[in-house]
């Protein structure tokens, strides 16, 4: 996949010309070597601006200064990173992204960044953030609101950290682009094409189950959801081998509902408008696999993507229908807008065939999770405390927040069926994110499994200081770091 050019820079970063110079400043800016160098070069001009408060050091605040004296760049951008003791582990990712989002509203040749991060984790995050900030959601606008520069130069970043950060940023942008594609461009068949392109680029093996194969494999839950669309569904199986052939793989499973109307439990217009994002789980898995393969993670990984459209037609599945999942379990349909868990039911069963050591699924599954945790935090539900601890630890280290929700056995009672084995929703509105997870738990047997409900953070309804609206690529970076550890 083509990406913007990114290089390390080791010459005099103040006196060597570039089109824009970005420098980080925290609350303790007087102790920052880069700020003192700039202040000396400008004969105290920069320090006076910081002292006066004309330049903010608050997180993600970007101050653009034109024609700075004694500096070879015609534009100087100071980006705030707040307090060094704030504990915000995503601060350098967001600061780099915010700076690029601010200055890339017009074409720039070379942008040089200085002072963003110190540890390897922070440096990789900052490099990835610089790639995210200059890419917008306006894929089909003739006049782009954000324009990638020709070259991003990094001062004080070693080549290994630079290349790792670049790969992670590229992988986030793969996920974001897929989420941002409109549903008439991205549907199961074209998602397959996108997955094939990623597989070829980074050396994954790919297996595609078309409708005939899905019928042969008795994937009745997924096929039930797909019945309302003229576009045939897919299951895509991607494999990466980073360890010995006999080592048990990690299975990553992604919900890929490329458009969700809600079916006969139809969504209102406002709720349906952004439902192109309902494939974010599958896009997240593809982004993680791209990063893992290019960073040569020392694990075997299998990705299972379930791709369907949930639409309405004379053949669409109905309330009261009973579907038989691939596992043989029967499911009463009480709500056709609770379709993602049906898709995942068959995908999880396919993942079990791979004899994985662990399964992690990603899905924009429930509005209930957004009500519970808001738009910045993903719900984390699991049958294994060790896996929960690992995921939460790495996501917190990267500043991509996950939060565990309880999985007590009594929640299972709410999905007990009267006509079939189980039903696809719980009792009433309460605990909807948890009862959805308990439904999924029915299809993982005893394998350590975690479910990440990313309905809140996967899609920004409005722009953030550090990113355009649309797909966020959340958790690609955290899982890339986890797999590298």
Active site residues: 267, 341
Q: Report the 3 state secondary structure along 266-318.
A: CCCHHHHCCHHHHHHHHHHHHHHHHHHHHCCCCCEEEEEEEEEEECCCCCCCC
| DSSP category for residue 237 | E
**Count of beta carbons in the 10 Å neighbourhood of residue 371:** 13
Dihedral angle at the C-alpha atoms of 219, 265, 257, 179, nearest 10 degrees? -170
What is the C-alpha to C-alpha distance for residues 80 and 69, in angstroms, rounded to an integer? 21
**Helix, strand, coil percentages for the chain (3-state, nearest 5):** 35, 20, 40
Please state, in angstroms and as integers, the Cα–Cα distance from residue 1 to each residue in 5, 200, 288, 452, following that order.
12, 10, 14, 27
**Closest by alpha carbon to 165, among 483, 383, 480?**
480
* Alpha-helix residue ranges (DSSP H) falling in 375-473: 385-397, 432-441
CA dihedral in degrees (485, 91, 390, 445; nearest 10)? -110
Largest CA distance in the chain: 80
In angstroms, the CA 407 to CA 382 distance is 7
Instruction: Yes or no: say if 151 and 166 are a contact pair by the CB < 8 Å rule.
Output: no
């Amino acid at each position: 996949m083509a990406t913007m050019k990114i290089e390390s820079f080791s010459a005099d970063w103040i006196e060597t010309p570039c089109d824009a110079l970005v420098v980080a400043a925290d609350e303790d800016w007087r102790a920052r070597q880069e700020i003192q160098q700039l202040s000396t070069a400008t004969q105290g001009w920069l320090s006076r601006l910081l002292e006066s408060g004309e330049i903010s050091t608050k997180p993600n605040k970007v101050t653009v200064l034109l024609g700075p004296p004694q500096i070879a760049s015609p534009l100087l951008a100071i980006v705030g990173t707040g307090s060094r003791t704030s504990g915000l582990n995503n601060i350098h990712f967001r600061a780099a992204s915010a700076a690029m989002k601010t200055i890339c509203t017009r074409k720039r040749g070379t942008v040089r960044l200085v002072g963003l991060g110190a540890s390897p984790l922070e440096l990789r995050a900052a490099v990835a953030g610089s790639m995210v900030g200059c890419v917008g959601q306006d894929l089909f606008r003739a006049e782009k609101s954000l324009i990638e520069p020709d070259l991003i130069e990094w001062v004080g970043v070693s080549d290994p950290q630079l290349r790792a950060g670049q790969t992670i940023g590229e992988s986030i942008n793969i996920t974001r682009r897929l989420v941002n594609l409109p549903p008439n461009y991205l549907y199961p068949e074209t998602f397959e094409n996108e997955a094939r392109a990623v597989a070829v680029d980074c050396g994954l093996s790919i297996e595609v189950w078309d409708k005939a194969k899905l019928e042969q494999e008795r994937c009745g839950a997924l096929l039930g959801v797909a019945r309302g669309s003229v576009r045939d569904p897919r299951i895509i199986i991607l494999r990466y081998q980073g360890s010995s052939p006999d080592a048990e793989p990690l299975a990553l499973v992604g919900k890929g509902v490329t458009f969700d109307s809600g079916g006969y439990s139809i969504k209102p217009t406002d709720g349906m408008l952004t439902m192109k994002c309902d494939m974010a789980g599958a896009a997240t898995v593809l982004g993680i696999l791209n990063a893992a393969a290019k960073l040569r993670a020392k694990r075997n990984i299998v990705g299972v993507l379930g791709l369907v459209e949930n639409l309405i037609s004379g053949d669409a599945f109905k309330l009261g229908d009973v579907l038989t999942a691939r596992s043989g379990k029967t499911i009463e349909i009480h709500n056709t807008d609770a379709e993602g868990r049906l898709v995942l039911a068959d995908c999880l069963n396919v993942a079990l065939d791979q004899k994985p050591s662990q399964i992690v699924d990603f899905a924009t599954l429930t509005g209930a999770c957004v009500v519970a945790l808001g738009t910045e935090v993903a719900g984390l539900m699991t049958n294994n405390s060790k896996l929960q601890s690992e995921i939460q630890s790495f996501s917190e280290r990267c500043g991509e927040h996950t939060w565990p929700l309880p999985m007590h056995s009594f929640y299972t009672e709410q999905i007990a069926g009267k006509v079939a084995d189980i039903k696809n929703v719980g009792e009433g509105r309460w605990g909807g994110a948890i009862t959805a997870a308990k439904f999924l738990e029915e299809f993982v047997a005893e394998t350590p499994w975690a479910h990440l409900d990313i309905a809140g953070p996967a899609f920004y309804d409005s722009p953030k200081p550090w990113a355009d609206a649309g797909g966020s690529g959340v958790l690609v970076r955290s899982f890339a770091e986890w797999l590298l550890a």
